[in-house]
Amino acid sequence: MAEVKLMKGNEALAEAAIRAGMQAYFGYPITPQSEVIEYLAAQEPKHDYVLIQAESELAAVNMLYGSGGAGARVMTTTSSPGFSLMQEGVSYMACAEIPCVMVNVVRGGPGLGTVQPSQGDYFQAVKGGGHGDYHVIVLGPNSVQEMVDHIYLAFELADKYRAPTLILADGAIGQMMEKVILPAPIKYEPDKPWATTGKTPDRERNILTSLYIQSEDMEQRNLKLQAKYKVILKNEIRYEEYEIEDAEYIIVAYGLCSRIAKNVVNRARDEGLKLGLFRPISLWPYPWDRIGEIADADRVKFFISVEMNAGQMVEDVKLAVCGKKPVFFFGRLGGIVPTPEETYEAIKEKIG
Amino acid sequence: MKEGYELVYKRPSTLTDRRMSYCPGCFHSTIHKFMMEIVEEMDIQDKTVGVCPVGCSVFAYNYLDIDMQEAAHGRAAAVATGIKRVLPDRIVFSYQGDGDLAAIGTAETLHACNRGENFTFIFINNGIYGMTGGQMAPTTLDGQITSTCPYGRDVETAGMPMKMAEIISSFEKVSYVERVSCNTPANARKAKRAIRKAFEYQMEGMGTTFIEVAANCPSNWKLTPEESLKWLEEKVYPYYPLGVFRDVKKLKKEE
Ligand SMILES: Cc1ncc(C[n+]2csc(CCOP(=O)(O)OP(=O)(O)O)c2C)c(N)n1
């Protein structure tokens, strides 16, 4: 049965994972997402998922590999330094096509950085943080409700494409409390004939590997992955548009910044300024084509990417706009959330 | 079977009919055969899942006709943990070299043992990095020459060769630890018995089982297979003695 609750983002995410049929969780404590493992530990007696506080994120991601490869619906959560440590495993899982859900509740970096919210891991998430030619599917929630909805979606996408799927949530989304509708629990029935569950006489042995020592084989493996990414690019682009139809100036923002941007759009509209917001929800695949279409409209004068980093997603906006219109950037660093006031000022300055 | 003939030896049905990539005389192939004979004898092919990480045995899944996962270098214990926890009624093993288990993967190894993860480690200790061409391992003997200690291992700077069976046997939730070898038919039979025992303990849910194989590496030791056996007897067993280091069933009886 669905339920309405007031919940913290991290706890809502944990509850959603249970309801979405998660069978195993592996993690290592790190602020600002330790509430996930704490919540799951508290709820464990009522459910039958596996829960391990691993000795490191490196171990956690490899437990994810093993259990995901054994056919279970599996998840890990971490924050920036922990996700860096996991990158080796992410690359291996991408190549071996192991479905799993990972959540990075991003804090400010580089290095140990700060525990305050950031979007500094955008490059790592969408351009491939580990080695080799691969992508993970990346979703960028902007509310506690989306933390919940994206968990269901991420499990589905991971299974559908046999691909590691990442929820990239800036720290604030994990920490804030909001009203949320929790969907009814589902009974998950795995249907994974490729999983290593023990070779029965009716089939060949199942092997999960990322090793293709002959270049020709490795190229074929890569082509298979690339073909899959093409399908994902076609089917799984998600975005939200707000006051775009007549907008002359367009903010592009995801996660928490999109909430701030919406506020700025409302203020601008009150003052008669035609500002709009484009919010990518899937960060990989990125809605390049749709942004490109918007850039084609004569009325559109410029784009400005608002981020909590030194300017990362702005590169994708530039790729999408492809020189058709100017693309600007405004952001704050080090765990500082830009205020609507300073964001609005930055936009007005560009308008001149 | 031709009339008048008696079958005395065959490849187990659980071993694929494929030429192995291992060097002549290497114990990897012997241990592969033992494991698959055991799987056949115990009739557990449909319940067995193996993990082979990076090292000479990374291709083990080409030879073992069972479901397998290849793991990143050093991560086999974590991968095996993941498999076993979601499939607790399967027989799960990791098959690891000394670089894998005792250098890059030490943390995963020790913590899996500390938690008493109910799978079996098959640990091939050949005292060297075989796959990458003969560099020093954490288990390389004092004074032993490798490509990264060309003047012999200097224990002053490289530390002492690590005795993993001894270390692992100190974990309370580990149920069985034995160091075996395959230098003689008698020792080879013991090695097979040890692996079978480990699988049986695992099936009884007794906790981690750990079989260390004091193994050879003729190619990188730059010895003939026969000379490598002599080296084992003269240099390796005195430092890495064969035998049972922990057996909770015996411990319980003694109590
Ligand atoms: C992260 C990482 N570092 C280094 C390597 C290179 N590498 C492959 S196998 C190996 C050593 C293997 O030695 P061991 O585990 O003793 O197994 P053996 O080959 O002797 O059977 C190394 C260093 C790698 N594959 N991955």
**Confidence at B226, pLDDT banded by 50, 70, 90:** very high
Measured distance CA(A91)–CA(A86) in Å, rounded: 9
Q: Please work out whether the CB of residue B136 comes within 6 Å of at least one atom of ligand 1.
A: no
Q: Please work out whether the CB of residue B106 comes within 6 Å of at least one atom of ligand 1.
A: no
Q: For B61, which residue in chain A has the nearest alpha carbon?
A: A207
Ligand 1 centroid to Cα of residue B70, in Å, is 13
pLDDT score of B228 more than 90: yes
Greatest Cα pair distance in chain A = 73
- A290 phi, psi to nearest 5 deg: -65, -40
Measured distance CA(B109)–CA(A273) in Å, rounded: 62
Q: What is the mean pLDDT of residues B46-54?
A: 97
Say which amino acid occupies B221: W
Which domains, and CATH codes, for chain A? 3-235 (3.40.50.970), 240-351 (3.40.50.920)
Whether B61 and A205 lie within 8 Å, measured CB to CB: yes
Shortest alpha-carbon distance between residue B38 and chain A (Å): 15
> Chain B within 8 Å of A21 (Cβ-Cβ)?
no
Closest among A288, A337, A287, A286 to A309, alpha carbons compared? A337
CATH fold of B28-249 reads Rossmann fold (3.40.50)
Which pLDDT score is estimated for B254? 80
Whether A59 and B107 lie within 8 Å, measured CB to CB: yes
More confident: A117 or A128: A117
- B105 phi, psi to nearest 5 deg: -110, 20
pLDDT for A48-79, tens place per residue? Answer: 999 999 999 999 999 999 999 999 999 999 99
Whether A67 and B108 lie within 8 Å, measured CB to CB: no
Q: How far is CA B25 from the centre of its chain?
A: 16
pLDDT score of B75 more than 90: yes
**Confidence at A271, pLDDT banded by 50, 70, 90:** very high
**Confidence at B204, pLDDT banded by 50, 70, 90:** very high
**Confidence at A208, pLDDT banded by 50, 70, 90:** very high
Q: How far is CA A36 from CA A43, A109, A143, B194, B230, in A?
A: 11, 21, 16, 42, 56
Whether A71 and B78 lie within 8 Å, measured CB to CB: no
Up-side HSE of residue A163: CA atoms within 13 Å toward CB?
Answer: 25
Least confident of A183-192, A257-266, B121-130, B190-199: A183-192
Q: What is the mean pLDDT of residues B57-86?
A: 97
Q: Please work out whether the CB of residue B14 comes within 6 Å of at least one atom of ligand 1.
A: no
**Confidence at A121, pLDDT banded by 50, 70, 90:** very high
pLDDT score of B255 more than 80: no
Q: What is the mean pLDDT of residues B181-210?
A: 98
What are the extents of the domains in chain B? Answer: 28-249
Measured distance CA(B14)–CA(B21) in Å, rounded: 18
**Confidence at A280, pLDDT banded by 50, 70, 90:** very high
Contact call for residues A153 and A138 (beta carbons, < 8 A): no
Cβ under 8 Å to B: A residues 62-101? 62-72, 74, 88-89, 92, 96
With a pLDDT cut of 70, the percent of chain B lying above it is 100
Q: For B81, which residue in chain A has the nearest alpha carbon?
A: A63
Closest among B192, B198, B193, B234 to B216, alpha carbons compared? B234
Q: What is the mean pLDDT of residues A250-276?
A: 98
In sequence order, the β-bridge partners of residue A304 are A251, A328
Structure tokens at A72: 């279970």
Question: Which atom number of ligand 1 is nearest to the Cα of residue B57?
Answer: 21
Total-model pTM: 0.97
ipTM of this predicted complex?
0.96
Structure tokens at A331: 């952001």
Enumerate the H helices of chain A as residue ranges.
9-19, 34-43, 57-69, 80-96, 122-126, 144-161, 171-175, 215-235, 256-270, 288-296, 313-321, 340-351
Nearest-Å Rg of the Cα atoms of chain B is: 18
Whether A69 and B79 lie within 8 Å, measured CB to CB: yes
Say which amino acid occupies A198: G
Which pLDDT score is estimated for A56? 98
pLDDT score of B1 more than 80: no
**Confidence at B253, pLDDT banded by 50, 70, 90:** confident
**Confidence at A205, pLDDT banded by 50, 70, 90:** very high
**Confidence at A1, pLDDT banded by 50, 70, 90:** confident
Question: Which atom number of ligand 1 is nearest to the Cα of residue A88?
Answer: 1
Contact call for residues B135 and B146 (beta carbons, < 8 A): yes
Whether A207 and B79 lie within 8 Å, measured CB to CB: no
pLDDT score of A123 more than 80: yes
Q: What is the CA angle A202-A208-A210, rounded to 5? A: 150
Which pLDDT score is estimated for B2? 81
- Least CB–CB distance from B82: residue in A62, A200, A211: A62
Ligand 1 atom 5: residue of nearest CA = B73
Q: Please work out whether the CB of residue B108 comes within 6 Å of at least one atom of ligand 1.
A: no
**Confidence at A335, pLDDT banded by 50, 70, 90:** very high
Ligand 1 atom 20: residue of nearest CA = B130
Number of H helices, E strands in chain A: 12, 15
Structure tokens at A306: 């608002």
Average pLDDT, chain A: 97
Contact call for residues A347 and A306 (beta carbons, < 8 A): no
Q: Is A234 helix (H, G, I), strand (E, B) or coil?
A: helix
Structure tokens at B149: 């200690």
CB pairs under 8 A between A and B: 132
pLDDT score of B11 more than 80: yes
Burial A168-181 (b: 16+ CB within 10 A, else e): bbbbbbbbbebebe
